[in-house]
Homo-oligomer: A and B are copies of this chain.
Amino acid sequence: MASTIYDIAAKAGVSIATVSRVFNQSTSVSQKTRNKVLKVAESVGYHPQAYAQGLASKKLNTIMAVVPVMSNYFFMEILGGIQDKLTQLGYELSIFNVTGTGDSFFEQVEHVIRRRAAEGYLFISIHLNPDQWDKLQKYPVPITLVDEFYDGFDSVSVDNVQGAYTATKTLLDAGYKRVGMISALESSKPIKDRIKGYRLAFEESEIPLDSKLIVCGDTDYRDGFTERGGYTAMQQMIELHSEVDACFCSSDIQAVGALKAMEDLELSIPLIGYDDIEISEYIGLSTVRQPMRDMGSIATQTLLDRMKNEGKAISQIMYSPQLILRKSTNGILKISQK
């Protein structure tokens, strides 16, 4: 059976308070006593239990990332950034995967907050409606938003409208008129914003927009942000609108599928993705870069700052995404210079 602080105290001939102090780096323990305690503790493999410590001290040293889907490159990069920061600060990471849909989605989010299994929460790509955000605001719990923003919450996000605008405008400026867009689940907020940016580019260019050129794949798995989603979307776009002459794609992962579709259908048009996941550089995909790792790490820092100082001013950081041109838009520059 696992031993407790009482066992250690008994075997070491001290009180439990002393054992506790040894493990809390409190200095007020004589070197001799400390060694004695450490020795017994080591002999039975003792270490204070996280939950009991949490209850008694109200310090958990844990922050929780709340994500809508696991196993997605975007989250993976963000989690990497979070983890880097956390490790260096001695915190632990819990991950809660919200699986519900509709009302139950919000219920799950609310539930996880209430359970208080962490001292702070990082909401990654959690998109709620205003009522729900307001409701969440009432809980006395530090939350910082990543890939989303709402008044009253600390947040770290990227300007999706601008990112999509820049990509589309670049294509338009290069002389392409029938620029398509591969979208994903349209109820997702980033997608809404990217569509907005796409439209805006047409408006500013005074080029008529054909809404039918916005297509999305045949799958809602992972909200459509999959290779398959991009493949079927591109397939559809080419088959239905053969006049499409360039394409903006909502994510790099979909772009991987779109590239394959073009290859299979023996067609090649300039393509710009979104995210700049690591492989993009290697497959020569032009894209709109989101600084995912940085976002994770900055958000974590923001959260910890908030935890330390409840009263501090709310910080809403919004990055401007950066367009990166590679092989998949070869020739673009040439044309745009004419």
Chain A residues within 8 Å of B, Cβ to Cβ: 1-2, 45-52, 54-55, 60, 70-71, 73, 76-77, 79-80, 83, 86-87, 92-97, 99, 110-111, 114-117, 138-140, 226-227, 231, 253, 256-257, 259-260, 278-279, 281-284
* A51 and B116 contacting across the interface, CB-CB below 8 Å: yes
* A79 and B83 contacting across the interface, CB-CB below 8 Å: no
Contacts of A51 in B (CB 8 A): 50-51, 54-55, 60, 116-117
Contacts of A116 in B (CB 8 A): 2, 49-51
Q: How far is the CB of A8 from chain B (nearest CB, A)?
A: 12
Contacts of A284 in B (CB 8 A): 260
Q: How far is the CB of A27 from chain B (nearest CB, A)?
A: 21
* B93 and A93 contacting across the interface, CB-CB below 8 Å: no
**What separation, in Å, do the CA atoms of A114 and B46 have in the docked complex?**
7
**What separation, in Å, do the CA atoms of A97 and B95 have in the docked complex?**
12
- The 7 A-B pairs of least Cβ separation, nearest first, read A71-B80, A47-B114, A50-B117, A51-B54, A260-B282, A70-B83, A50-B115
Q: Report which of B54, B97, B227 forms a contact with A278, defined as CB distance below 8 A.
A: B227
Q: 7 A-B contacts, Cβ less than 8 Å apart?
A: A49-B115, A70-B83, A71-B79, A71-B80, A76-B76, A87-B97, A227-B279
* B282 and A139 contacting across the interface, CB-CB below 8 Å: no
Q: Report which of B45, B99, B278 forms a contact with A87, defined as CB distance below 8 A.
A: B99
**Nearest chain B residue, comparing its CB with the CB of A327:** B263
Contacts of A283 in B (CB 8 A): 256, 260, 283
